[in-house]
Structure 1
Amino acid sequence: MDIATILQFRQKIRIIEREFEKQIKGCALCGGVSLAQCHALLELGQNEELSIAELADRLHLDRSTLSRTVDSLVQAGLVHREINPQDRRYMRIRLTQKGKEIVDEINTGSNRFYMKVFEVIPPEKHSVVIEGIGLFAEALEKVQLTSPEPEETPCCSSISNKGNKNE
């Protein structure tokens, strides 16, 4: 693919990122939670229960950062944390009833938003949009699975190498 097409694509992605962020922040605020808490709650809403490690992997966060988020969710009564009696290092977390209600509220708001977006798109293009987003999401996941640490990725290494006089 040529660089002009990539640049055009990146411009569109930045618009999408900003609009998604604005939408999810709005829904999180309506639910009375932070953006980080919102992501954790939504992921738990799709799964019966997860370990801290599983949730950290899904959210691409380190465990200590996620542990602080989970602590705040436990204090708010939105998640329940259960320690495995055989291995106290292993914890499972799941939504409380109050947490499920917040997830439902966030999902309802998000569904309304995306319905409005799809109302602007011609109905015959809906499947094209969904298929394209699906392909792109799968490609992102594949690239993320095979990518090195962020500081070793091409965009970061080229930026950090500019300041390195030895190279």
Structure 2
Amino acid sequence: MNTRGRDLVTSNSLNGNVIQFRELLRLLTRRLGVLDKSELPCCGITYSQCHTLVEIGRKKCLSINELAALLGLDKSTMSRTVNTMVRNGLVAREPHPEDRRYVKISLTDAGNRVLADIESRMTDYYLNIYQSIPQDKREQVLESLELLVHTIKSECCC
């Protein structure tokens, strides 16, 4: 087989793998509900609000800019999400004592309760998934996911 033939076979094989890779990621995204803009069935909040609660809960206090950067959203979208959450009593805005331009966003007691419920439900959900993976494949799955997340962080499709 000449070089062109080998390149074509390699290219076809690679293209098939890329198509399978894309399809698996598409299905994973759909199964995890990443594209669903509606409310979470258990908590009465949107997926965007859920992710916002989790990030604020982990960091305890963030600015709109910090939240937007963490979630990969623009500042105006993040601001609208936070405004809704303030109206719903889940988060509070508080001016920074030394720099009035900086507004701190933190969870309210109600936000902490919703976050605790989300964390509990998600832990149970992912525990069931993890335990469904054959024990001898679990480390491989974790390593592959870490590699995938690291690679996705360094790439941009648009």
TM-score band, normalised by shorter chain:
0.7 to 0.9
Q: TM-score w.r.t. structure 1 length? A: 0.78
User: Is contact 2:43-2:114 (8 Å) kept?
Assistant: yes
The alignment's C-alpha RMSD in Å is: 2.3
In 2, the alpha carbon distance for the partners of 1:13 and 1:19 equals 10
Correspondence list, 1:12-161, <5 A = 12-21=24-33, 28-143=40-155, 147=156, 153=158
In 2, the alpha carbon distance for the partners of 1:95 and 1:35 equals 17
User: Is contact 1:78-1:96 (8 Å) kept?
Assistant: yes
Structure 2: which amino acid aligns with 1:131?
Answer: E
User: Is contact 1:27-1:106 (8 Å) kept?
Assistant: no
In 2, the alpha carbon distance for the partners of 1:116 and 1:125 equals 15
Q: Post-superposition, which runs of at least 4 consecutive aligned residues in structure 1 deviate over 2 A?
A: 24-29, 84-89
Deviation string, structure 1 residues 45-104 (Cα, Å, up to 9, x no partner): 211211100000111111111111111111111111111254433211111121111111
Aligned length: 146
Partner of 1:162: none
In 2, the alpha carbon distance for the partners of 1:132 and 1:138 equals 10
Structure with bigger gyration radius: 2
Structure 1: 5+ residue stretches without partners: 154-167
In 2, the alpha carbon distance for the partners of 1:57 and 1:44 equals 13
Structure 2: which amino acid aligns with 1:28?
Answer: L
Structure 2: 5+ residue stretches without partners: 1-10
Question: 81-90 or 29-38: which moved more?
Answer: 81-90
Structure 2: which amino acid aligns with 1:5?
Answer: N
In 2, the alpha carbon distance for the partners of 1:4 and 1:59 equals 32
Partner of 1:156: none
Q: Between Structure 1 and Structure 2, which shows a larger proportion of helix residues?
A: 1
Q: Cα distance, 1:12 vs. partner? A: 0.5
Q: TM-score w.r.t. structure 2 length? A: 0.82
